[in-house]
Amino acid sequence: MHIRDWPESERPREKLLARGASALSDAELLALFLGSGTAGRDAVASARGLLAAHDGLRRLLDRDARALTRLHGIGPARACLLAAALELGQRHLAAQLARGDTLADPDAAGRYFTQRLRGLDHEVFAALYLDTRHRALAFEELFRGGIDGAEVHPRVLVQRALAHGAAAVIVGHNHPSGNPDPSAADRAVTARLKQALALVDVRLLDHFVVGDGPPTSMARRRLL
**pLDDT values of the chain reduced to their tens digit, one per residue, 224 residues:** 577 778 877 888 888 888 888 888 888 888 888 888 777 788 888 888 888 888 887 778 878 888 888 888 888 888 898 888 888 887 777 676 665 566 666 688 888 898 888 878 789 999 999 999 888 888 999 998 865 566 889 999 999 999 999 999 999 999 988 889 999 999 999 999 999 999 999 999 999 999 988 899 999 998 88
CB of 94 closer than 8 Å to CB of 114: no
Q: Give me the pLDDT at residue 101, please.
A: 60
Task: Name residue 80's amino acid.
Answer: C
**What's the whole-model pTM score?**
0.69
Any idea which architecture 102-217 has in CATH? 3-Layer(aba) Sandwich (3.40)
pLDDT at 24: 85
Residue 130 is predicted with a pLDDT of 92
Phi, psi of 130 (to 5 degrees): -125, 150
Write down the pLDDT at residue 148.
57
Of 139, 146, 204, the residue nearest 174 (C-alpha):
146
Q: Where are the chain's structural domains?
A: 3-93, 102-217
What's the pLDDT tens digit per position in 35-77?
887 777 888 888 888 888 888 877 788 788 888 888 888 888 8
Which of the 8 DSSP states describes residue 130?
E
d(CA 56, CA 53): 8
- 8 A C-beta contact, residue 30 and residue 51: yes
